[in-house]
Amino acid sequence: MIGPMKLVVAVSVALALAAAVASIAHGEFILSAVWTVRDDGSARQILAVLPSGVVIDRAGDRVALSTDEGLVVARLDAGGHVVFPDTKNVGSAVFSPSSNSIAFTAWANGSYGLYVARADGTAVRRADVSASPAAWSLDGRSIVFASGVVGKRADLVTERVDGSGRRVLARGGFSDLLRPPYVSPDGRSIAYDCANTQGGGFCIVRDRTTRRYLHGGFDPVWSPTGRLVATTIIGNLNSGLDVVDVATGARRVVAPVPDLIGVDFTPLAWSPDGRRLLYQRRCGAGLRPPQCVTAVYVRTITTGKDRRISVDGLRWTLAQWRGHTVTYVTQP
């Protein structure tokens, strides 16, 4: 299996922050970083500059990155970072709710699969040889993922972290092993991509019943209560976001069509009270300023009104909204 972890001394935070400030001053940002901003767009500042690599997940003071060395778990407190040796082509990584464990997809010792490990690089176990990225249960004792492919469809399954208790939640409905399922905050619902199955865009399993929604699709983001879910609209030349009320099935579209054809929309985070949605507009192929600029907005769901809080052109990921403060990651 994967060999012992390798500890690497972290780069000086002070020097990295100085480089970040210099890059912003020259109109470019060439480093990945964690930022904080007020939900009205004010008081933005850098919290930490991250090691080189593609940032995949963040939890607490840890971030997971795909690097030339393999999977890396780095600490934001300058406590160094852990390299998982013999990992290549890391496709995904997601921390458990406690951030003490991690599930990831990668090649390891010549074999591809979904792996579960402690965040310090120990106790690595391969959970499945043909699986999607995983999601964690609320208690961190189980993982949920798609397993196996039959006719380009896979089963949605769950099992305990030790590999026991596997059971099928939805049979033959998962259409894309590159995307993970998404567990709602109340633990009752799981959203997943089923774009190629029975005309559905995305599916929700709730209380053992599966419902399909047309044209909604990628990157589901659950509201704090699990009542609403926002997804990126796909198909039919649509642009925008789809907000679904799981209890009633009612839907709202966040974007006019066809006004913004070619603009990519991504839901980022819900406000703590579930009344506002943070989302991003990015320029699709062939669109450039001033016709299109990458920007981040806050949408009030009941009124349909937007407030733009960023036009810096940076791509936001892994946003978290606490109180009136949003933290997020930017990458080159």
- pTM for this predicted structure: 0.86
- Residue by residue, what is the 3-state secondary structure of 288-325? CCCCCCCEEEEEECCCCEEEEEECCCCEEEEEEEECCE
Q: Which of 12-21, 105-114, 231-240, 286-295 has the highest mean pLDDT?
A: 105-114
Phi, psi for residue 256 in degrees, rounded to 5: -80, 150
pLDDT digits (tens, 9 = 90+) for 282-299: 887 677 777 678 899 999
Rounded average pLDDT over 82-110: 92
Percent of the chain scored above 90 by pLDDT?
47
Contact (Cβ atoms closer than 8 angstroms) between residue 70 and residue 87: yes
pLDDT digits (tens, 9 = 90+) for 116-162: 999 999 999 999 988 899 999 999 999 999 998 665 678 899 999 99
Q: Which residue has the higher pLDDT, 189 or 23?
A: 189
Is the pLDDT at 76 greater than 70, yes or no?
yes
Contact (Cβ atoms closer than 8 angstroms) between residue 271 and residue 307: no
Contact (Cβ atoms closer than 8 angstroms) between residue 242 and residue 255: no
